[in-house]
Amino acid sequence: MTAQLAIIVPTLDEVGNVRPLVAALEDALAGVDWEIVFVDDDSKDGTAERLRALASEKDNLRVIHRIGRTGLSSACIEGFLATESPYIAVMDGDLQHDESLLPEMLRILDEDDVEIVIGSRFAAGGNAAGLSSQRREQMSRLAGQICRLVTPVRLTDPMSGFFMMRRSLIDEVVHNLSTRGYKILLDILASARRAVRVRELPFHFRPRFSGESKLDILVLLEFVVLVVDKLFRGWIPVGFLLYVLVGLNGLAVHMLLLGLLFRVFGFSFAWSQTLATVAAMTLNFFLNNVVTFRDRRLHGFDLLKGLATFYAACTIGAVINVTVARFLFDNGWIWFIAGFSGAVVGSVWNYAMNATFTWRRRPRR
């Protein structure tokens, strides 16, 4: 029988949190027909094993153990698609979200004309004390302002990771979700492409019970890229946007090094250009490894093999770039447009080849 409420909890190295979380939910949801779906990104601290042990004890607990796939948003989406419950909640596995709010969220969705109920740290009566620093709180508030670029819904906390929604809403937007990044709520609201009917409830954001925060500068970068992706309505893949941003950084380094070698140190132009190209290409590889393809990050010997593959793909891409640009120029195209077109074709080639071969998905060791 389908449960009335499904709670999706993505996990990564939360072994000390999962049992206390389940116990807290059992107390909060007494009398409610509910299930919990944990989606674990192949944790290395024994989280998946702890969850399987819990699942053997509890009929309403399920585990999706993902190999070679990572990311909070994509984990939530897999959880959504794994349940048929008419109401779906999302919360973190670190006990920072107030599970006692869940019955009120469910009541509102069941009785009122609301599609999604959001736990807000910044609404009147809410508290964001669980954020590790004032700077993180300021960043969250700023991100909330940026969110207004991509959704007409006005919220105090659009970055919240604690919410409950009707099944019909996720069915409406699921094909438009980006699957990248850590802000699934923003992705849902922006993908609806209309004003979703929402209600916010204030809650106190508690300190982490166990483990470490997953927020870092790369998470914030992915948030910015998600906003850009929604502005472009998905016409340009998120991964390609990141790849281009890294490439622009490499271009700046290339030009700086070219100038130093040629103008300052007196190298020949050919040698200066060659060394600058290799240096920029190498930098781009390592930046892509930690930014664009962070969910498939290479380590050890795979890193060296990946570097060789990256060199090969980009060398072929450079030849394609020049060939296309020269062909267009020889056929009467303006030099700027011809050069830009060659660069675009070469970039698309590089991204496609490197996504397919250099950073192909591998099982995590």
214 within 8 A of 183, measured Cβ to Cβ = no
Mean pLDDT rounded to a whole number for the chain: 85
Give how far the C-alpha of residue 221 lies from the chain's centroid of Cα atoms, to the nearest Å.
9
pLDDT above 80 (res 7):
yes
Q: Which of 212, 176, 180 is nearest to 291 (CA)?
A: 180
What's the pLDDT score for residue 357? 93
Q: Which of 6-10, 135-139, 152-156, 251-255 has the lowest mean pLDDT?
A: 135-139
**Ranges 30-39, 69-78, 355-364, most confident:** 30-39
Instruction: Return the domain boundaries, the chain.
Output: 5-228, 238-358
Q: Which of 295, 86, 337, 67 is nearest to 180 (CA)?
A: 295
Range 158-177 average pLDDT: 92
Topology given in CATH for the domain delimited by 5-228: Spore Coat Polysaccharide Biosynthesis Protein SpsA; Chain A (3.90.550)
β-bridge partners, 166: 87
d(CA 143, CA 135): 12
28 within 8 A of 60, measured Cβ to Cβ = no
Range 284-301 average pLDDT: 87
d(CA 261, CA 249): 19
Tokens of 294: 């962070």
Digit-coded pLDDT (tens) for 123-167 = 888 887 755 556 655 666 666 666 666 677 888 888 788 999 999
Digit-coded pLDDT (tens) for 197-238 = 999 999 988 876 555 555 556 666 667 777 777 776 667 777
β-bridge partners, 87: 5, 166
Percent of the chain scored above 70 by pLDDT? 86
Q: Which of 52, 53, 48 is nearest to 10 (CA)?
A: 48
pLDDT above 70 (res 311):
yes
Q: Which of 8-17, 79-88, 344-353, 355-364 has the lowest mean pLDDT?
A: 355-364
Confidence of residue 178 (pLDDT cuts 50, 70, 90): confident
d(CA 243, CA 262): 28
Range 334-361 average pLDDT: 87
Residue with tokens 């020889």: 330
d(CA 186, CA 168): 17
The 3 state secondary structure assigned to 242-305 is: HHHHHHHHHHHHHHHHHHHHHHHCCCCHHHHHHHHHHHHHHHHHHHHHHCCCHHHCCCHHHHHH
d(CA 22, CA 356): 39
Please count the other Cβ atoms lying within 10 Å of the Cβ belonging to residue 276. 21
Digit-coded pLDDT (tens) for 316-334 = 988 898 888 888 888 888 8
pLDDT above 60 (res 51):
yes
Digit-coded pLDDT (tens) for 76-103 = 999 999 999 999 999 999 899 999 999 9
Percent of the chain scored above 90 by pLDDT? 44
What's the pLDDT score for residue 365? 46
What's the pLDDT score for residue 222? 66
Confidence of residue 343 (pLDDT cuts 50, 70, 90): confident
Query: Burial level of 9, CB count in 10 A (0-12/13-18/19+)?
Result: buried
